[in-house]
Structure 1
């Protein structure tokens, strides 16, 4: 990794600059600053892609196995989604909030030990497991956006209720749009997470002890899937207030974070 470490370090520096410029635009609504922030974000995405491809070539497997690798890939997914959002929807606030999460995730990866190339066995680098992790990360990206949409929904709902007519309110999409976007992101995330869990179980039955289904990580993953599936069911039935659904969405994402970051230490996922 030493040969391309400078790419990783430069990425973090430019990502920090991009987030700061987006924050300035958030406070002052400056289009020149916004364009500069977006330009830096494009460079960040390009550097992340180069680093990721170089890691793939050096390690001879798709690098989403260790916690360092998955955090980096999760950050790349968030940057990619934010660029797509900017291109198709032009929701600048969503791009800003998404990249706050993406930057925090990337910084967290700095503190994770990078596993030597020879330390990853053929069992851990199997295509089934790599597909399982990749689908999980893309579902996490979709759920992250859904959480941000719900947060923006709750913020706008509160501002409207309190009759706070600020410039920020004018930059937010309507409540119906925010709720609809959150719904679409969950519609994308749930099937990807379901398929990820199914592939993980198939892989586990091939290489792990029979009782692996009682593992904390597995139980929490199924719980996360159930939480979002029930959210979709309640949204379909339209029996729960939209504000309550937004709050539910935030709690489901909190459970997802606990599962992603907190459930690895005491499980068979501890190879991370």
Structure 2
């Protein structure tokens, strides 16, 4: 029973870590001090939980936890979080903080959901199933954000066309103004990109455990990375190049079409997605 409670706390730690990464991503794009503070305190809470787990493990085993690969992974994740907190507080190098936390999250997810660290086969299988559930949930939430962002971009083009042709009327009044439509489309993509990145990390961890002959050039894996790239380009064009208007809306619509291709076509071609379909 105690091991089950500890497992649940580890899973909670991963969720809080993922939320911290999302907030750091927002701060990374916009220099948002409020998001940075929330991310910092969430990460600090994760560090407290990790330190507690580390201390309890040392009491249980009577030694420093670095003698096995899984002990080393956990200590490595703890070191990364510790350094990230120090960098955030002392140096204010946000670029480094964000990518350090992405690496730390990958290491922590590998450690948390690796079934070989559990003596009970039932608990190990349950944990792997929960990993799949979290992966699917996060991925679908990201797709939901991309879908609504697509709708806002579509409405932007409709509104843009109505204004250009001077078609005044109730239809024009019922659609929000162009700046609001563009802003909401952008905000949803800012949320969707880190969520998809987290979903891909967890999905690859699940596939590595459950599909022994999985290939890294699997259609679904490549498709997910393509989706991340095209939306990453969208954010780059919006933030670094200052692109606005119709061109950015068209890019967003094209990106969502790739999401649909990845979901419906690449999912059919994938070996490990057919594994649980």
Normalising by structure 2, we get a TM-score of 0.52
User: 2:235 — aligned with what?
Assistant: 232
Structure 1 residue 241 displacement after superposition: 4.0
Q: Distance between the aligned counterparts of 2:186 and 2:231, measured in 1?
A: 10
CA RMSD of aligned residues (A): 1.8
Structure 1 residue 123 displacement after superposition: 7.8
Whether 2:187 is the aligned partner of 1:161: answer no
Structure 1 residue 130 displacement after superposition: 1.0
Structure 1 residue 124 displacement after superposition: 10
User: 2:208 — aligned with what?
Assistant: 205
**Is the contact between residue 223 and residue 262 of structure 2 (CA under 8 Å) also seen in structure 1?**
yes
**Is the contact between residue 132 and residue 206 of structure 2 (CA under 8 Å) also seen in structure 1?**
yes
Q: Distance between the aligned counterparts of 1:238 and 1:178, measured in 2?
A: 19
**Is the contact between residue 208 and residue 214 of structure 2 (CA under 8 Å) also seen in structure 1?**
no
User: 2:133 — aligned with what?
Assistant: 130
Map Cα deviations across residues 108-145 of structure 1 (whole Å, 9 max, x no partner): xxxxxxxxxxxxxx589611111111000000111111
Aligned residue for 1:188, secondary structure, equals: helix
Q: Distance between the aligned counterparts of 1:163 and 1:196, measured in 2?
A: 44
**Is the contact between residue 142 and residue 193 of structure 2 (CA under 8 Å) also seen in structure 1?**
yes
Structure 1 residue 211 displacement after superposition: 4.6
Aligned residue for 1:173, secondary structure, equals: coil
- The number of equivalent residue pairs is 151
Whether 2:194 is the aligned partner of 1:177: answer no
User: 2:13 — aligned with what?
Assistant: none
The one of 184, 195, 214 equivalent to 1:192 is 195
User: 2:9 — aligned with what?
Assistant: none
Segments ≥4 residues shifted beyond 6 Å: none
Q: Distance between the aligned counterparts of 2:127 and 2:230, measured in 1?
A: 28
Q: Distance between the aligned counterparts of 2:203 and 2:245, measured in 1?
A: 33
Structure 1 residue 179 displacement after superposition: 0.3
Structure 1 residue 233 displacement after superposition: 1.2
Whether 2:144 is the aligned partner of 1:141: answer yes
Whether 2:266 is the aligned partner of 1:263: answer yes
Map Cα deviations across residues 18-45 of structure 1 (whole Å, 9 max, x no partner): xxxxxxxxxxxxxxxxxxxxxxxxxxxx
Normalising by structure 1, we get a TM-score of 0.53
What runs of 5+ residues in structure 2 fail to find an aligned partner? 1-124
Aligned residue for 1:264, secondary structure, equals: helix
